[in-house]
Amino acid sequence: MGLLNWQKSFKGLFATMVFFLMAMTSYAQSRMEFIRVIENPIRLEQDRKLDSKRMPLDTLLFIEPMPGMKVLDIFSGGGHTAQLMALAVAPTGKVFAMNLKPNEALLERVGRQTQSNIIPIVTSIDDLTNEPNGSFDLITIVNSYHDMVNVKPEIDSVNQKIYDLLKPNGMLIVRDHAAKDGAGKSATRTLHRIDPASVVSDFQKVGFKKVAEGNFLKSPLDTKEKHSTQTGDILPEDFIFKFVK
Instruction: Delimit the domains of the chain by residue range.
Output: 40-244
Full-model pTM:
0.88
Collapsing DSSP to helix, strand or coil, 195 comes out as coil
CB 117 within 8 A of CB 93: yes
Task: Tell me if 30 sits within 8 A of 62, measured CB to CB.
Answer: no
What pLDDT is recorded for position 23?
42
- Give the three-class secondary structure for 64: coil
User: What are the two backbone dihedrals, phi and then psi, of residue 210, each rounded to the nearest 5 degrees?
Assistant: -75, 125
DSSP alpha helices (H): ranges in the chain? 3-39, 45-54, 56-63, 80-89, 104-113, 145-151, 156-165, 196-205
Nearest Cα to Cα of residue 145 among 95, 200, 215, 86:
200
Spans of the chain, pLDDT less than 50: 1, 3, 6, 10, 14-15, 18-26, 28
Looking at residue 152, its pLDDT comes to: 97
Q: Phi first, then psi: what are they for 116, rounded to 5°?
A: -70, -10
What is residue 8's predicted lDDT score, i.e. its pLDDT? 52
What is the distance of C-alpha 100 from the center of its chain? Answer: 19
203 backbone φψ class: left, alpha, beta (φ>0; ψ -120 to 50):
alpha
**Please, which residues have CB within 8 angstroms of residue 65's CB and are 6 or more apart in sequence?**
71, 85, 88, 89, 93, 138
- Assigned CATH topology for domain 40-244: Rossmann fold (3.40.50)
pLDDT of residue 21: 39
